[in-house]
Structure formats: structure tokens, C-alpha cells
Amino acid sequence: MGRSEQWEADGFDGAASDNYTGGYELNDHVHLDLAPALSHFFGDDPDSNPYINVNLSKFYDVANFIKNFKNLTCPIILNINIQGLHSKFNGLKDFIQELSAGGIFILAITLQEIWQIVDPCFLQLDNFAFISTARKNSRGGGVGIYIRSGLSAKINQTLSPFLEGIFETISIDFKFKTKQYTISSIYRPPNNTADSFNLFFANLENFLHNMSRLNQPYYIFTDSNINLLKLANNIHAQQYLETLHSNGFLQLVTKATRIIGPTYSLIDHVCCKNENSKLSAGVIPHDLSDHFFTFLSLENESKPLSHTELSYRDFSKNNLDEFKSALSNIGWESVLSLANADLAFNEFWETFSSLFDIYFPIKTKKLNKNIHKIQNFLTSGLLKSRTTKIALHKLSISHPTDDNIAKYKTYRNLYNTLLRKSKILHYQDQLSTNVKNPKKM
């Protein structure tokens, strides 16, 4: 019996998806939409309402997101409050691979609440460089950005103030095609004292003033913990939006970005200069975090990209022999002379990883989804069950009854358990098959 058949024989065959395909009705839920409040707040006159001619955002499930934005020249910037990058990294990696395989060109991923970074070596996404700032004096928080490799990205220190627990920011400058860009990730923790709000708004005002002086496109991605769906009666939501507008910025996300049972909020925002009328923003509900993904599509062009690429390293016998020869010619005195184990490891790792990248550089090839598996441990049974999990998640947020939420959580936990088992079995098979040929491991 094959692995996929085994999961199906255990009753984990995704049959529930027939009953829970649940049309994606979130876009029809007025209470999840900021647009009516914007009209009430600014009026319907184009001279007073800057949102009249703006593409208001929508909810997209993953399939519809890929359908609408695949194979376009417009790059996508994603954002999410990740709630601990180390613990959520594999899920983030799978999500990015799924979008890339579907033809989505991701330029950057901005993150909030990365928490403490133990070792960046374990947080590498193919084709991306990772830049981050974590807290030094307390747990939680922190911000980071994955930026597409090869864009000469560097931190903009002026636009990266980091006031722990108040205004945590990182901004990077980079060049894409012929243009210079700046993107920022901002996190404001849920501290609702008067002093913390005063400090936040003072820092935000200064930040926006400095950013507006740039002579290039710039985009801001935030988890502000300020719920814009309360715009009609919340003074901080009103002050936040007025601060953006007075500095010439628009906030493009108009759908709820966090739904937990019957509670919902719009606290994750995408901001840009108000003359950027071609931009499209939206929300992708996903269960990686209890915040949804937000995204920004930089242009509305429809020229197709040449193809989607798959990254890989070539571990051929010749490359392995040359790598081993290079290692054997290294004098390790600089490592052995260090008494501190951490410093010695860092010295060793810098040499080893540099040689590794020289002899096994990342290459790309055209991706054919019929030939190249994104994850080899995803059996046909797990793929069907994953579809069911997604459908149940949709239902739990579009119709958050106790029964729907309980069904989703039960199924999600079962799916995650079997996914871990499938990974273990897959790698055990790899080790067993290649026990006498470690070069293929």
C-alpha cells in the first residue's frame, strides 16, 4: 500500500471538501469592509474623499489570488504579522513556494512580530535575502523583510527608528528594474495607554515626514493594532488616518485582516503616496497566523512573465570533488586559535558557507508543475486533505459558528499531525534508500 493510499485508508481522504467548498462570501460581508466608513468619514465628493478613485481591496483565497495575479509583470509585496518566525518559517516557506509555482512574482515579504532570531541560517528562503531588527531588552515584537536576491538592498537607517514596544520599524532601499524603491515594515504593539499612543503618533508623524522627502516610490506595511473598522467612533483610528492623509498617504486595505470567531478587525495596513493610482491591495485569509496576509501589487499591467522558475543546487560528483578539495586546502588556524566556541563557529561557518555557495551556487530552471514537485512529502491524500482544511478555514471565518470553528480546528490539528508524520516518513525513506550513498541525501 502506497503512502497516499495509507492516508486515505485511515479516513483522511478529503471527502469533507465536497460539503465545505463554501463559496468565498467574505467580500459580501459589509461589517468586514472599511469602504462604507470611509464614505461616511470623508463624504462622496472626489475633492474631499481621496478614496473615490482608488481600487478598494478584496478578499482572495489562494486559488483566486493566483488566478488574478499570476504571470504578470507587476511584482507582489506580501505582509503578515508572523507571530514568531522560527515557529512559522516552514509554513511561510510552503506558502511562498505555492505562490511562486502558481506564477506569482514576489518582490518582498514584510513581517511583524518576528520575535527573537536564534539563527538566521535556518530562516533562508530561496531567492530572497533576509534583513531584520529584533528587540534586545524584551521578548516578542521585532520586524523583518525578505527581499528578492540581487537587488542591492540596504537598510535605510533614517527610516528605521526602533523604539521597543512603541514604534518598531525597518526600512530598506533597493533598485528593481530601473527604479529605486523604499519599503518599510512597522509594528505597534497593543499597548493602549495614553503615553504609548502619544509616542507612537509623534514617531509616525516624524517617520512620514522623512519618508515623503524621498524622490522615489515608497510603501509602508504595518500592524498598527489600530482597528480602522472602528473609524466612526474611535479617536485613535481617526487620528491615525488623519496623520496618514495630512502627510499625503493613503491606506489601501479596506477589508478585515484578523477574524477570530465573532471578532474582527482591520489592524494590518498598506500605505502609499496618494498619487499611486495603479496600485492594487488585498487580503489573503490564511491560517499560518491569526493575522491574514495583506499584499500590494505595484502595477496593473498584463504582460506575461517568461516563466516561473525553480531554484536548486547542483550536487554533481564533479562539484562535490572540487568542494572537498577546496576544503582540504583551507588552513583552519583562524578557527582553532579562538578560545570562544561561538566565535570559532562563526569563523568556520563564514569560510564553509562561502565555499559552499561557490561550488554549489543557486541555479534556476523552468518550473513544470507536472514534473517538479514543490514538496515531495505531500502525497495525493494529503493534498486532498489540505483542500478540505482550506475550505473548512474559509467556512470558520465566513460563518464563525461554534460548530464550524470546532470542525476546522479538529481537522487542522489532524492534518498537521499527519503532515509531520509524512515528512518524517519521507526523510526516513530518503535516509534508508541512500544510506550507502550519502551524496544523494
CATH code at 33-297: 3.60.10.10
**The three-state (H, E, C) secondary structure of 79-139, written as one string:** EEECCCHHHHHHHHHHHHHHHHHCCCCEEEEEEECCCCCCCHHHHCCCCEEEEEECCCCCC
pLDDT for the residue 7: 38
Instruction: State residue 41 phi and psi, 5-degree precision.
Output: -75, -40
Q: Greatest CA span in the chain, whole angstroms? A: 74
Cβ atoms of residues 245 and 271 within 8 Å:
no
What's the average pLDDT block by block, 10 residues per block, for the chain (441 residues)?
38 38 70 91 81 86 91 89 95 93 94 92 92 93 95 94 97 92 97 96 96 92 97 95 92 95 95 74 95 87 47 82 89 88 84 87 63 63 83 87 91 87 78 64 51
For residues 394 and 26, give the distance between their C-alpha atoms in angstroms, rounded to a whole number.
Answer: 9
Identify the three-state secondary structure at position 272: strand
Cβ atoms of residues 298 and 279 within 8 Å:
yes
For residues 345 and 368, give the distance between their C-alpha atoms in angstroms, rounded to a whole number.
Answer: 39
pLDDT for the residue 374: 58
Cβ atoms of residues 115 and 85 within 8 Å:
yes
For residues 165 and 159, give the distance between their C-alpha atoms in angstroms, rounded to a whole number.
Answer: 17
Q: Which three cell numbers stand for residue 213?
A: 522627502
Stretch (H or E) spanning 77? strand 76-81
For residues 180 and 66, give the distance between their C-alpha atoms in angstroms, rounded to a whole number.
Answer: 27
Cβ atoms of residues 327 and 355 within 8 Å:
yes
Residues of the chain with CATH 3.60.10.10: 33-297
Q: Which three cell numbers stand for residue 170?
A: 525597518
